[in-house]
Chain A
Amino acid sequence: MQVSEEETVRILRKDVLLLFLLAACAVSVFVLTKTVAAREGQIESRVAGIWYQDGERQIKAGQVDDAIDSFRKATGIDRENPRYVLALADALALGDHNIEAEQALQRLRDTDPTNAEINLRLARLAAKRGQIPEAVLYYHTSLDGMWKGPDIATKRRDVRLELIRFLIAGHDHDRALSELLVLDSELPEKADAHVQAAKLYLLEGDEQRALNDFKEAVRLDPLNDQALSGAGETEFQLGDRRKARQYLEQAVARGDASPQTRDLLQQTEQQGRADKQGEPR
């Protein structure tokens, strides 16, 4: 009895010791593997970076296919780096490999669905492929998404402007107008921004709102020749020749020498003379 128990205890002790050694071995191998993985990760990042820089250089040189190849190598090595995937997607879109570009962006979107940059690129791709509902959806996700870096409001406004132009080009005037109204409400106190909005209203055929924006631009910057000529043109279209003449004269005085403005000014002057001659003495 005593011998059996001793034997059992000896074997069990040996088992425990071996298990402990194996566990220690597993921990050591884990640390080693993790270290190797980290070191390899650094090497891979460096190599991927070299391919990325090559791709950038090739894009600038107009070698789109070579750039795609380089960006592919970069993303093949460092698949988690969104900068490389975005560069690849841009190059693919540039090279008209739209399906692959979309797949690359979709993969990124899966990991970061609210990323505004990714959604914007997807919107542009969808727009390029004539997929209007998808494009609008991605534009909106981009507008509502997370932007990084400084001057987020400007970036968001630029996207909305891009969306409005896309809708106008697709003759979707109702949606374009509602987007314009949103844009209008978000415009900063800058003349150029109001001029931009006013021009889009004109494209939409909404002269009254365009005039409001031109006037606001003139208020913010009375010397802005574009705002002055735009206000003049719009007043002319709305039939107020007098005010149109005032604005156009100021525009020309501030240096707007475009033939269109001068022509319109001439027309208002002639109209004014004719009106004077027609008045009872």
Chain B
Amino acid sequence: MKGVRRLWLAWIWCCAWLVPRWRRATWRAQWRADLWYYDRWLESESVGRLRAAAALILRAGGALPHAVILQFLEWSPVMLSHDVSFGARMLARRPAFTFVAVLMLGIGIGANATIFNWLQHVVLQPLPAVDVSRLVALHGTTATRDDLSFSFPNFVDLRASKPAGLEDLIAFRAVAMNLRGDGEPRRVWGELVTPNFFDVLRVEPALGRRFVEADHTAEVVVLSHGAWQRHFGGDPSIVGRLITLNARPFTVIGVTPEGFRGSVLGLSLDVFVPVGMQRAFMSDDRLGERGTSFLQVYGRLQPGASLQQAQAALDVAAARLAAAHPAQNEGRGIAAEPLWKAGAAGMMLPIMAILMAVVGVVLLIACANLAGLLLARAAGRQREVAIRLAVGASRARLVRQFLVESSMLAVLGGGAGVLLSAWAAGLLRLLLPPTPLPIAFESAVSPLVVLYATGVTFAAALAFGFLPALRASAPDPVVALKDVTSAAGGVRGRSRLRGALVVTQVALSLVLLVCAALFVRGLLRAQTMDTGFALREGVLASIDLLPNGYDPGRGAIFHQRLLERVAGVPAVVSATLASNMPLDFGGGSDTSVAIEGYVPAPGEDVQVYYNRVGDRYFETMGIDILAGRALDERDDAGRPLAVVVNETMARRYWANQDPVGRRIDFGSGPAVVVGVARDGKYRQLTEAPRNYMYVSLAQVFRHDALLIVRTSGDPAAVVPSLHAAVRELDPDLPLFDVRTIAEHLELSVFLPRIAGSILAIFGLLAVTLAVVGLYGLVALVAAQRTREIGIRMALGATRGDVLRLVLRQGMILTGIGLVTGFGLAVAAAQGIRSQLVGVGPTDAISFAGPAVLLAVVALVACALPARAATTLDPVTALRQE
């Protein structure tokens, strides 16, 4: 009990400082007595030691609200309104100071609110318009994986077994499809869903009805509110209308409420059709295949049931499924996890964590700077403070006055920040990764963000206002009244605090700048990297034959005709098809390969990435063929499978031999190597040389392909002709994701570019703030030393001496800041190392550059007031009093 007693005595002592002075002694005695009696009472009741300690701590906790309330009782409304109107006058009298302060705070708070807004949209509201309480995501698991989807028969059996603790289960799958309402066909994203989908998600349609069990195999569709508005102009008689999905007629039965965007985390989906219609939207008939997993599953916990209970029931169900269908389900389990852990939200968290850290640092710098400004101003107000103290104001009263002023600044800054974030929220769209998937993006500023900004604002007001307030309220009245500028002791102490703030700012801005430099340097290096293909001027577009019911035979013919037509378009140099474009993050599929004459080491699995390419691929892409021949129109379905391998693969598996003519098997039957292509970059610019091979799209057919067109002149000019070429062949087929090669190459450096820009913007912002702080400090100290400088000059000091004198202080602070920042930057660089392209985390130039830049800017910031000091007329300076 001794330890606890000492603890609460210290606690009471601390809280006492908040109590108005005239009550303090009584207050302390009263609380000591209270706790003493309570302690005794606990002892007499023989309460357990731990519980007694907890009870005492709880009881002592009451001292804090008591102290705060007593402090507030002192704040009469009249006095507070005096404080506020006085503060307002002080702020209005210095518009420049007020403007700079509000701007700095606005930027700091705005940046925080913007990132927080995004965070809460992604993490806190994973599925808008859905009741997500008690919703859990189910995954299939094996010994090595925990993110598998479900086959339809497994889902049906699982649902029929009614696992205890779960109300009901739904299954769904995001699919791309072609929608034709009025006019042009469009590529849209939708979901295959079980009929109970909307019931379990608790979503009431805005128009029409939900699915019922009988809809399972009916050609019916529910549209999202957005799709209804965008594609059908909000037609009020939409329910009952026929629309065309993948060239089949579907009846619209309902429209979802506004904001609903489907059940897939992070995506925004527009069209909902029964899973029974799977055949119209995905290849093969999957509904009867227990081995074909393609559905995601959510369940809703029963009220009062825990995740653990449901998990136990799912374990039993999984064991039963494995026993009943060992061929497909042997060794597979089912795991449930809360929604916020699943899917895109989990993936986005690291990026958001970095962003939150960056904006936090910016706010910290802004607060440090503002604290510096307020300290400088406090120095100028010492006379006022001294007079007020002399006429009997209490220190608490003065602290309160200063805090009211800084709170007013914070409120203005917070308002500016919220406005700023309302504008900046849309900019975050730039941070979304480039993918054809319909990433959900919400930028509306929610009330929660305003609440958050308010919290940040008051934290900031305390952070930047408290220290200056304490400092300002404690001058020595005698000295201060005599003369502000010669109050040497006060000034030195004050500038030491400001010095520490400047050091912090220099250090933090160096950290941001170094990280930015690392990204930018990597980016520059990436742009000069050899991609392995020469194509720079041209167009890419996607096409998908599956929705419109092509079989491989008809598909191959369509591909061939399309290429013929595109080749006839003016300004098209050559055109081809491929299933992947290099540097698209994906880089093709990988497959196990058996190579004749190569004996894999024990346990070695020969995995090779490959791309399916059409006629004239190598010519269009500008990839050199080093031996043998390219794939061309000869390699069609009727001929033996042909393969072109890259240099690395040739060297790896046919060292010192000619690979041309050798046989391999990649799972589609025996194939012959017909050529060797030059190495390139396939997934991203930073990858090491890797095995790669090309197979013929006509021989290993795929429904979705990329049309790659090389043009002479403006690539965008041929786009209408490409659309026309497709329309002539099939009016129901959309050409989508049309982009130029230049745009595609931009995407390959997307992440480092975004990270680099953000860090550079915030870094430069931080440097500006730090330099303003430094300038202010040096100028202040120089002004305070005017007399001293005048004396020195009168005694024969040269201008150079004076310059050095003033510069020295500023540069020492900069030096300390740089050294501290350097250490922090080394640590930060290690933290972001996995995101860097083309540079290591110890890149010398990325460290030296920002350091030199900061040093130079700091030198200029110090030189300006220093120069002003040298032009002093000693006589004037000495007469200043």
A binds B: no
